[in-house]
Amino acid sequence: MEDFDERYRAVSSRDERFDGMFFTAVRTTRIYCRPSCPATTPLARNVEFHRTAAAAEAAGFRACRRCRPDSSPGSPEWDVRADAVGRAVRLVRDGVVEREGVPGLAQRLGYSERHLNRMITQELGVGPLALAQSQRVRTARLLVETTDMPMSDVAFAAGFASVRQFNDAFRRAYDRSPREMRRRGAGGSTAGECLRLRLALRRPFYADALGGFLADHAVPGLEVGEGRRFARVLSLPHGTAVAELVLHDDHVACRVQLQDPRDLTAAVARLRHLLDLDADPVAIDRALGGEEGGAGDGGASDGGASDGGAGDLGALVEERPGLRVPGTVDAFETAVRTVVGQQVSVSGARTVIGRLVAASGEPVELPLAQELGLTHAFPTASALAAVDPETLPMPRSRGRTVVALARAVDVGDLVLDGGVDREAVSRALLAVPGIGPWTVGYVRMRGLGDPDVLLETDLVLRRILDARGTTDADVRRWAPWRSYAGMHLWTEHLARQALTTTRGSRA
């Protein structure tokens, strides 16, 4: 959505679907807002739009205290885009600039610092350092409002180099000091205790299918799930963490306990990826339902979903609006789990991976882990690379593939993070003995967040497509949302299977 009039119409209608996709800055008040801000709509001549909160802040605007634009969902654009800017934004969200600086970000992407700065600034109005600075402020605000951590600890946990830098950036963003913000906030937790967060999302959000998927695939000791509640251990740059998630229709409630508070930014980014919270469900549903346009055309359909042919998923979209594609908190973990799960039932894969986690994963002793019955983090690439494949609880050929995969990641021949080139990763994965197109597609879809993967070599999905009479032209029409199309088809198939089983048990 680049057109001023389109954006202004979204602001005038207070359309929450556009929250996080752009920000409205008002020149007369020097405040920037979400498009859905309930305040009186400003005159068009006083408005300018920014693609990121960082760009609005760099232009001298502070965040609205009413709509809190800094806590809106992230733009879905960065998860969809496979170019260098999209990859850079994903790495910034994961805290790479805090840990490695802009030089580290540039090195990961294979560009010079100067060229990377130029590319990002040209598109977003600010460079990667400003994007990271804006994210630091948001992390700091979360710690200020939800904990009683000393301000010096908050500053360094959020990634600031000094308390003075923290105070100055905080006041620029919110027009108040951290201490003033804390007096108005809840506070209560101290360092090492659980933080309670509210993760924003775009509606509709079909939480039942997502929660059910995660619960069905939960690995003993690493994860636990039931209904809309899911918890797991996270391996983060500075230590482990435990997160408990409760999925609601309009947000996700999160309890997280960190070994090191510096990992809060990375933890939130990875949990959002796991739950696909930055997706634009209206645009996806409209495209798969056979309707032209998406969220950017300014309105929802005035008719019901159709079912006009093999390629029309309208009936499925109507049944499950806002269906998400489950992501991951670690793409290496997803790759290993995918290899182990080849030609094995879901319950069988859970059992095998659970043994792998218990044998090679790092024990976790955080109080929240003990409360939830979680015991281990997923094994690191280094730990699995050192394992004798003959000792793994799986067929020997598969064990050798797991160890080869781990060794490739451990020595840096294969990089699996949000900043990778998906096509290059596909080629590198195929070079690992025992990994084929199905595994590569699944890792791209869940591990790397590729929205346009249809696993046509999957036997179940192939039967579904054939039974519907789906043609190649139908599949092409689902682009760039073929991952979501596949998820709709799988979910419907599983629902029908469950219904058949229930009826059979009652007979």
DSSP per residue, 389-409:
GGGSSS-HHHHHHHHHHHHHH
Concerning whether 466 is annotated as a catalytic residue, the answer is no
User: How many other CB atoms sit within 10 Å of the CB of residue 343?
Assistant: 10
378 within 8 A of 270, measured Cβ to Cβ: no
Catalytic residue among 148, 417, 452, 458: 458
**Cβ 399 vs Cβ 352: under 8 Å:** no
Query: Please, which residues bridge with residue 253 across strands?
Result: 198, 246
Burial class (CB within 10 angstroms; exposed 0-12, middle 13-18, buried 19+) of 292: exposed
**Dihedral sign for Cα atoms in the order 332, 361, 270, 101:** negative
CA distance 333 to 335: 5
Q: How far is Cα 329 from Cα 27, in angstroms, rounded to an integer?
A: 40
CA distances from 449 to 34, 200, 202 (A): 25, 18, 17
- Continuous H helices in 53-148: 53-58, 77-80, 84-93, 96-109, 113-124, 128-146
| Strand order through the sheet with 239-247 | 195-199, 252-258, 239-247, 229-236, 223-226
Q: Are 248 and 185 in contact (CB under 8 A)?
A: no
Catalytic residue among 33, 37, 67, 194: 33
All residues at 6 or more sequence positions from 269 whose CB lies less than 8 Å from its CB, including other chains? 93, 94, 95
Q: How far is residue 488's CA from residue 416's CA, in Å, rounded to a whole number? A: 26
Active site residue 450: no
Distances (CA, A) of 197 to 63, 245, 264: 19, 10, 11
Which residues belong to the active site? 33, 458
